């Protein structure tokens, strides 16, 4: 059964009910100083600590009469808007974490306490992600070396190299965005735990592209630097940086409505376009080669990566919808449409550079048309209207091609399983 590329875990996309805004009560610390006897010299009084003391009390070197100490009640610390709530451990007792206090952002619950879950679907994403473990070293690239040097045409080599050049830069950008811009702003740990796994997976994807570059024998410096000198590749990276750099700050106050809306727009771009559409469409030229029996090792690794990326996009889309529900965010439909059209223009320019001439079974027009078709699917998942009405599925083989096939010739490749620790259901 094929993977559901719009919802890998087949979970209901309806956001959790919005919790009522939590009320933070100021609680006095429960501590009463005890009266003390006159201090003794060090010789008269050995060093002692009380079991409940936070730190040992140092003995006085000169005998002095003890002074009564008046403690002011300590106020419970309020979490800042830029960071999740952290408990005040000066308090002797604390109320248990309530699920109603948890929110995707701006939550008031203890960020260090996993359960009770407010978002059990996020934990399910994490568990399923850990069933999907692989490394590029599991894949035999011997035939790819032969194909690149003896079978690919100049046009096909151009496609192969530019796809790798774009992907190497994009996955590092994705890793930094999740790790530095998104994860720290989540205020429910079950969300952060999956995103930590996502950071790891983006790192492994970068390793995969590096493994392909090294194995084929490409000029690493030239491939990695190509996005700086090829305007059509740089154009996509520039848009991503413009959309995401504004949220790469730890001091963002998400209680500010403008900042919150900007954050949701940036995350919508990242999940819906960057990962959900650009990445998904970006692998397609290599799958076109695979259909003809070429560069099969590289394509198999991209199949593994695509499964990860579809999970990432699905998770991000769900988080965006949850924030919109909880925080009552209203995005500007015109701004959303403009975002999709901007992404389409960049993809069309990239496609023309990638495919100035068609390769067998794949051409520029197919690439752009497929972008529009996938974009409509992602927009629908986000609850937006279709940005490109009437877009058709020009590559009906893509979903099936992207699914991993388990048939292996034992003497040609190492037999690998994409899932470990039990069966993984993609329905």
CA distance readout (Å), 48 to 33, 35, 43, 51, 303:
17, 16, 13, 10, 64
Question: Is 108 exposed, middle or buried, given 0-12, 13-18 or 19+ CB atoms closer than 10 A?
Answer: buried
**Cα(29)–Cα(73) distance, rounded to whole angstroms?**
6
Q: Nearest Cα to 147, choosing from 296, 275, 251, 357?
A: 296
Q: Is residue 419 part of a domain?
A: no
Q: Is residue 265 part of a domain?
A: yes
Q: Is residue 138 part of a domain?
A: yes
Number of domains making up the chain: 1
Q: Is residue 66 part of a domain?
A: no
Q: Is residue 21 part of a domain?
A: no
**Rounded mean pLDDT for each run of 10 residues along the chain, 427 residues in total:** 57 53 45 44 42 40 50 49 56 70 87 89 93 89 97 97 94 89 90 94 94 95 93 95 89 93 96 94 94 96 92 96 95 97 97 94 94 97 96 89 52 43 37
pTM over the 0.85 mark: no
Helix (H, G, I), strand (E, B) or coil at 82: coil
CA distance readout (Å), 164 to 205, 233, 240:
11, 11, 17
CATH of the domain at 304: 1.10.620.20
CA–chain centroid gap for 151, Å, is: 37
**Cα(248)–Cα(260) distance, rounded to whole angstroms?**
13
Q: Is residue 326 part of a domain?
A: yes
DSSP 247-284: G--TT--TTSHHHHHHHHHHHHIIIIIIIIIIIHHHTH
CA distance readout (Å), 87 to 96, 110, 185:
11, 6, 17
Write down the pLDDT at residue 87.
55
Q: What is residue 105's DSSP assignment? A: S
Residue 244 and residue 269 in contact, taking contact as beta carbons nearer than 8 Å: yes
Q: Which domain holds residue 184?
A: 121-401
Q: Is residue 263 part of a domain?
A: yes
**Cα(227)–Cα(243) distance, rounded to whole angstroms?**
18
Q: Is residue 168 part of a domain?
A: yes
Within 10 angstroms of residue 39's Cβ, the number of other Cβ atoms is 16
Report phi then psi at 278, rounded to 5.
-60, -45
Length of the chain equals: 427
**Cα(296)–Cα(80) distance, rounded to whole angstroms?**
51
Q: Nearest Cα to 97, choosing from 17, 187, 185?
A: 187
Write down the pLDDT at residue 303.
92
Write down the pLDDT at residue 68.
54
């Amino acid at each position: 059964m094929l993977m559901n590329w719009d919802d890998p875990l087949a979970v209901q996309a309806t956001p959790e009910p919005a919790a009522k805004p939590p009320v933070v009560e100021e609680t006095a610390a429960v501590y009463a100083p005890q009266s003390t006897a006159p201090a003794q010299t060090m010789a008269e009084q050995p060093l002692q600590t009380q079991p409940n003391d936070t730190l040992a009390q140092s003995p006085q070197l000169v005998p002095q009469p003890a002074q009564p100490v008046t403690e002011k009640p300590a106020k419970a610390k309020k979490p800042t808007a830029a960071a999740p709530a952290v408990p005040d451990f000066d308090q002797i007792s604390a109320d248990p974490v309530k699920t109603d206090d948890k929110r995707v952002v701006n939550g008031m619950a203890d960020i260090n306490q996993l359960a009770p879950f407010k978002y059990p679907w996020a934990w399910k994403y994490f568990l399923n992600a850990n069933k999907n473990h692989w490394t590029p070293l599991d894949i035999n690239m011997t035939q790819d070396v032969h194909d690149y040097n003896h079978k690919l045409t100049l046009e096909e080599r151009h496609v192969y190299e530019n796809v790798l050049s774009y992907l190497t830069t994009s996955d590092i950008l994705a890793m930094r965005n999740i790790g530095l811009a998104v994860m720290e702003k989540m205020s429910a740990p079950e969300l952060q735990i999956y995103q930590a796994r996502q950071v790891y997976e983006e790192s492994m994807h970068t390793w995969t592209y590096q493994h392909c570059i090294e194995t084929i024998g490409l000029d690493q410096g030239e491939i990695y630097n190509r996005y700086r000198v090829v305007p059509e590749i740089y154009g996509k990276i520039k848009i991503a940086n413009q959309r995401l750099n504004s949220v790469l700050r730890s001091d963002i106050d998400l209680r500010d409505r403008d900042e919150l809306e900007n954050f949701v727009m940036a995350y919508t771009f990242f999940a819906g376009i960057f990962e959900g559409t650009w990445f998904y469409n970006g692998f397609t030229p290599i799958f076109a080669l695979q259909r003809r029996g070429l560069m099969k090792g590289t394509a198999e690794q991209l199949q593994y990566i695509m499964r990860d990326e579809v999970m990432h996009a699905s998770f991000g889309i769900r988080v965006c919808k949850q924030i919109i529900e909880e925080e009552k965010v209203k995005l500007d439909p015109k701004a959303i449409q403009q975002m999709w059209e901007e992404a389409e223009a960049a993809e069309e320019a990239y496609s023309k550079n990638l495919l100035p001439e068609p390769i067998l079974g794949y051409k520029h027009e197919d690439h752009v048309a497929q972008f529009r078709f996938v974009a409509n699917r992602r927009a629908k998942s986000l609850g937006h209207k279709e940005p490109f009405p009437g877009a058709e599925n020009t590559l009906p083989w893509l979903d099936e091609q992207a699914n991993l096939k388990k048939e292996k010739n034992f003497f040609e490749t190492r037999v690998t399983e994409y899932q470990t620790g039990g069966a993984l259901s993609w329905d």
